[in-house]
Chains A and B, each alone.
Chain A
């Protein structure tokens, strides 16, 4: 109980590190917003549900961007939700543009900023031809890195620029010219003779960064691992390597391994069930809603799946109420 490291942090900081306050504030805010509805089934239940959803990672669905960005857990949950919802798009093999991915993101978060998506796209496309099509897995992994570690990446970018310009924030100026192996990837920034920076120097800077960074960073060991494989690297080269590194992916814990990105048996099952009802999905059983409790489990099947579409319309018309005679005559 009296563990020393717990007492080492003052109270606020401790709470802040665990983001407890964020969630508490948000919970109370949500409570205030939906007073009338929630009061009907009890505040205690509300809190239960809220924190359950936080645990499950569903609390970020359709929330505003500021909330989603607020904690690492939120970010990870968001990534996972995005993966879950749109894995099928990837599975289908469609290659989409950056804007379309952004659209999909906006389906889950209406005010998601475009800059983040753009940055993620830059990682995939190596800052080239921003209108190119990207595969789902490429985009998702790059987006993960960009979104989860966005502040970290900003600092890294700054460091990289410094190094490119020849200024080393930490140590003595070390000339970074000459012997670069010619890499395929184009160099960042202005017309500099060298491509990228020396990996070891870069690695050192990053280590220092991780130590003093208050935002989340990738595990320093893994970063070192990434940097140890190469002599020189560019900024986007580094990011690409980061995104593809499965260790970092695992450390994040939001997404399954790259190889498994398209697999989600539970959801696939669900999907099959939904597909089987495609024609009959129209307005199957309009149950009378009570104010508090909504039936949202998959609705019972109506008729066979091969019922023609216009027949479904008739079902629609029937439930519309008395005023819809015109609809009936049109079928």
Chain B
């Protein structure tokens, strides 16, 4: 007889009994091993039946008990050839009336168990059973252990309505099925099988422990209905996402170690589960991520243990801080990429417009020389005058972003960007942005100004503004600006100082000239430029520049008549003053500056100051203005000439006629005086007449 003493599954601590078959099922509160532990008692079998050694292997190696009693099991052949019939000696039946252990009996089938209707515990561990059979009569069964067999399908359990613990670990079960009647099931152990899907468990509302470790699960769902589930073991599967966990109101421990979870989104339902206190993710790809810990902690505030380690307050705090930072960073980078994209699009747009402009010149303007600076007439620009939302965003950007990047104003037709020390202008509309109120700090930091897709003639007109608003700009870059003449470089002389000049060959034909660098060095020698197009300026370069063009300067300064010099200088000065006068509110300091500038213009390199550049439009304007004067002059001269020729004619006529006239005069006089007396009378008469 098998002494019947065992504890039913209750979650309480094990009670050690010294004698007899002792079966204690204990669900430990320590999470070290979440398996259902078996506390087994090892006992010796009757030597008569060595083949039925009912030795139960210990699952729990910590507690080792030697049994003192054997188990008399006698298997006799039955009438049915395949099923052995199990009979026990009546002694054992009395001793262990409610438990039967058939461990390691090399059973390949479940034997027919006669006369054991009171059986409450049945142990078939470590056999070779392939099908659950012949136990339908054991309707009082509470504990059924079929660990380590070869069962391929859950079946034959439909009568075991009292079953509370069903251990089917280490079998070959492929799907969860046929558990419909086991409504009292408390522990279901299916670890070590080949289950691919959680199903047919929704009715197990008393189930507290579900072990599906070491199966082939790829995802977790279908967990509704398990209202008592406290522990769910899903270790060593291939799970990529988890769902429905928030439908488990009592779930406290969830073990997901050694699966295939890589993002938090795939297990996001965990955040909604308020009962979860213990979770493991080790062995998943997600645990290798840098954001793993704080993301989990941030999203699962209810957690007490993560990966078997207690979650401290400190960790939680850190997690929330880090999470916030990450969120912000993500937002920022998203904004950045938006900005970049917008910038790129705008630049493309501007480039396209520029190309159109350049190629449209023969079509629109009859005069080929005239640069199309009247882009306002460009119809394709009409749709582009909308101001984007970016100006409003600048405020928030300023607060969030670092000083490295400030996208300032983006419209479809032009782009202005300040990037640390570089001011980039794309498209002619961008030149207007120089009028804006720039903060002193921003403007002061700018040392490089880059112009792209803007006509050089237009740039020339804003150079005075540039000088004032961005006083530290030392490096100028020009790309696609239609620099075609050496003369245009003269315009750069009005700037305060230029250290570096970069003329991109693209869109600037002037770079194709052999002498352009020397001309720049020559004309802008007062800047003492350091670099042109990236190459350092050497003394030799300066000398060569001077050698090539020095005489030009000399001629320009020494051989021009005074009034020409004054008029040329006067023009340059007038243009500078024109801008300064236009901007209102001049502080005295600024006035001094303009004086200094003019002084400098005159003082330094006077021999070069003659060489300046007026844009084509201005030039033609001036010529137009002069036309009136020329007409007047012509008329005036014609008048003069007419007068002169008249006088000349008269003179010539006089010359011709004079001999004759002279003779006549003399003749007249002589005739008058022929008669002295009468002449004297005539004269006296004349005198008295006068009085």
Q: A residues near B, CB below 8 A?
A: 2, 7, 11-12, 15, 21, 24-26, 28-30, 32-34, 37-38, 41, 46, 49-50, 52-53, 56, 58-59, 61-62, 64, 81, 84-89, 92, 94-97, 99-100, 103-104, 106-107, 110-111, 114, 267, 270-271, 274-275, 278-279, 281-289, 291-299, 309-310, 312-313, 316, 319-323, 326-327
How close is A304's CB to chain B, nearest CB, in angstroms? 13
A286 in contact with B641 given A61-B555, A100-B514 (CB within 8 Å):
no
CA of A11 to CA of B648, assembled, Å? 9
Give which listed residue, B550, B559, B636, contacts A271 with CB less than 8 A: B550
CA of A278 to CA of B570, assembled, Å? 27
B564 touches A61 (CB 8 A): yes
Give which listed residue, A37, A279, A295, A298, contacts B566 with CB less than 8 A: A37
Does B623 make an interface contact (CB < 8 A)?
yes
How close is B331's CB to chain A, nearest CB, in angstroms? 37
Chain B residues with CB below 8 A from A15, complex form: 641
How close is B497's CB to chain A, nearest CB, in angstroms? 7
18 CB-based A-B contacts, threshold 8 Å = A11-B648, A28-B636, A28-B637, A37-B567, A46-B563, A85-B555, A88-B551, A94-B515, A107-B486, A270-B554, A271-B550, A274-B550, A281-B525, A285-B603, A287-B603, A294-B606, A296-B607, A323-B592
Q: Chain A: which residue is nearest B614 at the CB level?
A: A110
Q: B528, B596, B604: which has the most chain A beta carbons within 10 Å?
A: B528
A321 touches B633 (CB 8 A): no
B485 touches A321 (CB 8 A): no
Give per-residue flags for B586-621: 1 if the beta carbon is below 8 A from chain A beta carbons, else 0. 000100110010011011111100110110000100
CA of A158 to CA of B482, assembled, Å? 37
A32 touches B632 (CB 8 A): yes
A92 touches B548 (CB 8 A): yes
B487 touches A89 (CB 8 A): no
B528 touches A2 (CB 8 A): no
Q: B539, B589, B604, B632: which has the most chain A beta carbons within 10 Å?
A: B604
A58-B555, A96-B513, A294-B602 given; name 15 further pairs at CB < 8 Å: A21-B637, A29-B633, A61-B556, A85-B549, A85-B555, A94-B515, A97-B513, A99-B509, A99-B513, A106-B486, A271-B550, A271-B554, A283-B526, A299-B606, A326-B472
How close is B532's CB to chain A, nearest CB, in angstroms? 13
Chain B, 217-237, CB within 8 A of any chain A CB: none
CA of A11 to CA of B652, assembled, Å? 12
CA of A89 to CA of B518, assembled, Å? 11
A contact patch SS: helix
Chain B residues with CB below 8 A from A41, complex form: 562
A321 in contact with B563 given A96-B513, A275-B547, A282-B525 (CB within 8 Å):
no
Chain B residues with CB below 8 A from A312, complex form: 528
Does B565 make an interface contact (CB < 8 A)?
yes
A267 in contact with B551 given A28-B636, A89-B515, A313-B528 (CB within 8 Å):
yes
A49 in contact with B513 given A110-B619, A283-B526, A289-B599 (CB within 8 Å):
no
Give per-residue flags for B616-631: 1 if the beta carbon is below 8 A from chain A beta carbons, else 0. 0001000100100110
A12 touches B564 (CB 8 A): no
A319 touches B528 (CB 8 A): no
Q: Chain A: which residue is nearest B655 at the CB level?
A: A2
A296 in contact with B606 given A2-B655, A88-B547, A310-B528 (CB within 8 Å):
yes
A84 touches B563 (CB 8 A): no
Q: Chain B: which residue is nearest A281 at the CB level?
A: B525
Chain B, 251-277, CB within 8 A of any chain A CB: none
Chain B residues with CB below 8 A from A61, complex form: 555-556, 559-560, 564
B563 touches A37 (CB 8 A): yes
How close is A102's CB to chain B, nearest CB, in angstroms? 9
CA of A291 to CA of B515, assembled, Å? 35
How close is A13's CB to chain B, nearest CB, in angstroms? 11
Does B666 make an interface contact (CB < 8 A)?
no
A30 touches B487 (CB 8 A): no
A84 touches B603 (CB 8 A): no
B592 touches A271 (CB 8 A): no
Does B47 make an interface contact (CB < 8 A)?
no
Chain A residues with CB below 8 A from B507, complex form: none
Chain A residues with CB below 8 A from B589, complex form: 323
A283 in contact with B605 given A61-B560, A85-B552, A274-B550 (CB within 8 Å):
yes
A50 touches B561 (CB 8 A): yes
Q: Chain B: which residue is nearest A104 at the CB level?
A: B486
A25 in contact with B633 given A30-B563, A323-B589 (CB within 8 Å):
yes
B526 touches A282 (CB 8 A): yes
A25 touches B515 (CB 8 A): no
Chain B, 635-656, CB within 8 A of any chain A CB: 636-637, 640-641, 644-645, 648-649, 652, 655
Chain B residues with CB below 8 A from A309, complex form: 528, 530, 537, 539, 542
Q: Chain B: which residue is nearest A88 at the CB level?
A: B548
Q: Chain A: which residue is nearest B557 at the CB level?
A: A296
Chain A residues with CB below 8 A from B547, complex form: 88, 92, 271, 275
Give which listed residue, A29, A50, A94, contacts B630 with CB less than 8 A: A29
Give which listed residue, A56, A99, A320, contacts B559 with CB less than 8 A: A56
A294 in contact with B565 given A25-B630, A278-B542, A278-B546 (CB within 8 Å):
yes
Chain B residues with CB below 8 A from A92, complex form: 544, 547-548
Give which listed residue, B539, B552, B558, B602, contacts A86 with CB less than 8 A: B552
Q: B residues near A, CB below 8 A?
A: 369, 471-472, 485-487, 496-497, 509-510, 512-515, 525-528, 530, 537, 539, 542-544, 546-570, 589, 592-593, 596, 599-600, 602-607, 610-611, 613-614, 619, 623, 626, 629-630, 632-634, 636-637, 640-641, 644-645, 648-649, 652, 655
A321 touches B548 (CB 8 A): no
A12 in contact with B560 given A92-B548, A100-B514, A275-B550 (CB within 8 Å):
no
CA of A1 to CA of B510, assembled, Å? 58
CA of A295 to CA of B630, assembled, Å? 31
Chain A residues with CB below 8 A from B509, complex form: 99
CA of A270 to CA of B552, assembled, Å? 11
How close is A127's CB to chain B, nearest CB, in angstroms? 21
B546 touches A283 (CB 8 A): no
Chain A residues with CB below 8 A from B553, complex form: 274
Chain B residues with CB below 8 A from A59, complex form: 561
Chain B residues with CB below 8 A from A283, complex form: 526, 600, 603-605
CA of A33 to CA of B623, assembled, Å? 11
B528 touches A107 (CB 8 A): no
Chain B residues with CB below 8 A from A28, complex form: 633, 636-637
Chain B residues with CB below 8 A from A24, complex form: 637, 640
A316 in contact with B605 given A58-B560, A326-B471 (CB within 8 Å):
no
CA of A186 to CA of B528, assembled, Å? 50
A107 touches B552 (CB 8 A): yes
B558 touches A49 (CB 8 A): no
Chain B residues with CB below 8 A from A34, complex form: 563, 566-567, 570
CA of A95 to CA of B509, assembled, Å? 17
Q: Chain B: which residue is nearest A264 at the CB level?
A: B551
CA of A209 to CA of B613, assembled, Å? 41
How close is B626's CB to chain A, nearest CB, in angstroms? 7
Chain B residues with CB below 8 A from A87, complex form: 551
Q: Chain A: which residue is nearest B526 at the CB level?
A: A282
CA of A288 to CA of B613, assembled, Å? 24
A319 touches B546 (CB 8 A): no
Chain B residues with CB below 8 A from A25, complex form: 630, 633-634, 637
CA of A26 to CA of B626, assembled, Å? 11
Q: Chain B: which residue is nearest A63 at the CB level?
A: B564
Chain A residues with CB below 8 A from B648, complex form: 11
How close is B509's CB to chain A, nearest CB, in angstroms? 8
How close is B486's CB to chain A, nearest CB, in angstroms? 5
Q: Chain B: which residue is nearest A57 at the CB level?
A: B559
A38 touches B563 (CB 8 A): yes
Give which listed residue, B471, B568, B655, contacts A62 with CB less than 8 A: B568
CA of A205 to CA of B551, assembled, Å? 43
CA of A295 to CA of B603, assembled, Å? 8
Chain A residues with CB below 8 A from B558, complex form: 296-297
Chain A residues with CB below 8 A from B632, complex form: 32
